[in-house]
């Protein structure tokens, strides 16, 4: 039996585009509905790093670091606002294989680096993040992403901001397994703290690799220093129709 996982999500950029709901619906399994904010669907690319990834109950020192890049949208099922993942690129080959086999997640092996530029105080909390990802998964479509990003402005609690709450306060993730079944994972964590963010995106071909034209609209950026998470084992969605 696959056990729950504990981890930390750190140095996240939420790069978000408003998109046509009908277009997004065509990319989703029939069991899920597009969730809308202000009359639009949203498509997001999120670079970050996992830290101390480990089975629940083990000490943090037993965990591993796993830089990651994911492409996702926002869905609803039985009244529960959730996330749907199109792809997740990650650095660790063994972790990618394990996530595919045991959690049925669409992970791809990639070479990823994430570097934090420290502030004058040396803590890195308000410094720039340099992120680079190049997919190396055998047989997968090429995908690259290079960006530099940083927080700007004052922090705020995501539940206090309508768009921030819509994009990040979600506690269930869906994916479609290779056999066509829909799977879900529940997560537990505190409410998000977000910052407005600035980003310089040098390369982004991950959307094209997932079958999306690059949105014509300007993205909305949020940054979070992160939080700690517990993720349940993946389960098959029953009564998918």
For residue 194, what pLDDT is reported?
98
In a domain, residue 196? The reply is yes
Domain of 217: which CATH number?
2.40.400.10
In a domain, residue 238? The reply is no
In a domain, residue 237? The reply is no
Q: Residues 1-23: pLDDT tens digits?
A: 477 889 999 999 999 999 999 99
Query: In angstroms, what CA-CA distances link 148 with 95, 194, 223?
Result: 25, 17, 12
In a domain, residue 241? The reply is no
* Domain of 81, in residue numbers: 5-232
- For the chain, what is the domain count? 1
Asked whether 148 and 14 are in contact (CB, 8 A), the reply is no
Tokens of 155: 């922090």
CA geometry: angle 126, 15, 211, nearest 5 deg: 150
In a domain, residue 239? The reply is no
In a domain, residue 172? The reply is yes
Q: Residues 31-81: pLDDT tens digits?
A: 999 999 999 999 999 999 999 988 899 999 888 899 999 999 999 999 999
**Smallest Cα–Cα separation from 85: which of 126, 127, 43?**
43
Element (H, E) at 208: helix 206-209
**Smallest Cα–Cα separation from 17: which of 33, 40, 34, 35?**
40
Q: How many CB atoms lie within 10 A of CB 135?
A: 21
Q: Residues 104-133: pLDDT tens digits?
A: 678 889 999 999 986 655 444 568 999 999
């Amino acid at each position: 039996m696959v056990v729950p996982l504990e981890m930390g999500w750190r140095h996240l950029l939420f790069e978000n585009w408003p998109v046509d709901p009908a277009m997004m619906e065509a990319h989703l399994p029939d069991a899920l509905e597009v969730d809308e904010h202000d009359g639009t669907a949203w498509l997001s690319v999120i670079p970050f790093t996992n830290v101390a990834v480990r089975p629940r109950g083990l000490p943090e020192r037993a965990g591993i670091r796993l830089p990651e890049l994911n492409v996702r949208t926002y869905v609803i099922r039985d009244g529960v606002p959730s996330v749907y993942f199109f792809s997740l690129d990650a650095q660790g080959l063994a972790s990618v294989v394990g996530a595919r086999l045991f959690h049925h997640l669409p992970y791809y092996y990639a070479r990823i680096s994430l570097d934090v530029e420290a502030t004058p105080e040396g803590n890195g909390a308000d410094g720039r993040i340099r992120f680079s990802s190049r997919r190396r998964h055998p047989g997968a479509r090429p995908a690259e992403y290079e960006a530099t990003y940083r927080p700007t402005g004052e922090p705020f609690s995501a539940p206090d901001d309508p768009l921030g709450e819509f994009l990040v306060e979600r506690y269930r993730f869906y994916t479609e397994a290779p056999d066509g079944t829909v799977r879900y994972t529940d997560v537990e964590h505190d409410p998000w703290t977000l910052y407005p963010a600035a980003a310089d995106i040098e390369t982004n071909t991950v959307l094209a690799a997932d079958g999306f034209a690059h949105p014509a609209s300007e993205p909305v950026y949020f940054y979070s220093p992160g939080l700690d998470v517990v993720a349940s084992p993946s389960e098959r969605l029953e009564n998918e129709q």
